[in-house]
Amino acid sequence: MVLLVLSGPSGAGKSTLLKKLFAEFPDKFGFSVSHTTRGPRGGEADGKDYHFTTAQNFADLVASNSFLEHATYAGNSYGTSLKAVEDVEKAGRHCILDIEMEGVKQVKASGRAAKFIFVRPPSLEILEERLRGRGSDKEEAIQKRLNQAKNELDYAAGGVHDITIINDDIEKAYGELKKYILEVIGEQ
Ligand SMILES: Nc1ncnc2c1ncn2[C@@H]1O[C@H](COP(=O)(O)OP(=O)(O)OP(=O)(O)O)[C@@H](O)[C@H]1O
């Protein structure tokens, strides 16, 4: 099984691309279930959407090196455990992680074999348009995402990823993503 790590600025189109991939290949890929210290939101099921956990338990898992990557956002911790990846692989699926730059660095540092895929917008101007078009963020959040996008793009400029997909035309970008993924999982 191949671990596929997708990253890129918020709004670059990662979710859109993954949605297409899962729709076309419903049985080949899977997301791992992350741990989080945040509380469940309406309808979220423990063990399915997240492994909901206490701050103490989360800290214990960090201390025992149980996470492939973990991070804190807005006061809550999130992490991908090695076991969560293993669970996906045991079910016969290639595990896909959709994570941020800091997580990518940790997966790299772990020495775990993985393919690193970077999705980027054609330009920061277009990214800004898409973030606004998505309509899910307030102005302040958009500015934060744009600043963070610059960090992601700088990091990627160091050539740390196995492939960069420029999401200009969605169908073209999806075609490139699909071709690369099928190749690395040995199905093309
Ligand atoms: N090629 C494209 N052309 C135009 N619009 C696009 C394209 N790809 C994605 N979009 C739109 O851009 C917005 C951001 O895409 P998406 O939510 O998939 O980004 P993301 O990388 O998953 O972001 P996040 O990391 O915040 O979840 C969405 O409204 C989506 O419909």
**pTM given for the model:** 0.96
Distance between Cα 42 and ligand 1 center (Å): 24
Q: Write the DSSP string, 30-96.
A: EEPPEEESSPPPTT--BTTTEEE--HHHHHHHHHTT-EEEEEEETTEEEEEEHHHHHHHHHTT-EEE
Residue 104's CB is within 10 A of a number of other CB atoms, namely 24
**Dist. CA 28–CA 41, nearest whole Å:** 28
Q: What are the structure tokens assigned to 95, written together?
A: 């595990």
Which atom of ligand 1 is closest in space to residue 98's alpha carbon? Answer: 25
Q: Please tell me the distance between residue 121's alpha carbon and the centre of ligand 1 in angstroms.
A: 9
Q: Is 27 exposed, middle or buried (0-12, 13-18, 19+ CB in 10 A)?
A: exposed
Give me the sheet containing 29-31, strands edge to edge.
29-31, 94-98, 4-7, 115-120, 163-166
Residue 110 phi/psi, 5° resolution?
-70, -20
Q: What is the pLDDT of residue 22?
A: 98
Residues in the chain where the model's pLDDT stays below 70 = none
* Residue 129, pLDDT score: 97
* pLDDT, position 74: 87
Number of H helices, E strands in the chain: 7, 9
Domain 4-184 belongs in CATH node 3.30.420.40: no
The residue ranges of every structural domain in the chain are 4-184
Q: Is 32's C-beta closer than 6 angstroms to any atom of ligand 1?
A: no
Residue among 6, 118, 134 whose CB has most ligand 1 atoms within 8 A, to mutate: 134
Residue 159 CA to ligand 1 center (angstroms) comes to 23
What phi, psi does 55 have (nearest 5°)?
-60, -40
pLDDT given for residue 60 in this prediction:
98
pLDDT at 188: 81
82 alpha carbon – ligand 1 mean position (Å): 28
Contact call for residues 45 and 181 (beta carbons, < 8 A): no
* Confidence (pLDDT) at 94: 98
Indicate if ligand 1 lies below 6 Å from the C-beta of 135. no
> Is residue 135 classed as helix, strand or coil in its secondary structure?
coil
**Secondary structure of residue 163 in the 3-state scheme:** strand
Which tokens go with 71? 């991070």
Alpha-carbon distance of 113 to 179, in angstroms, equals 20
Q: Which residues contact 122 (CB under 8 A, 6 or more apart)?
A: 166, 167, 168
Predicted confidence at residue 155, as pLDDT, reads 98
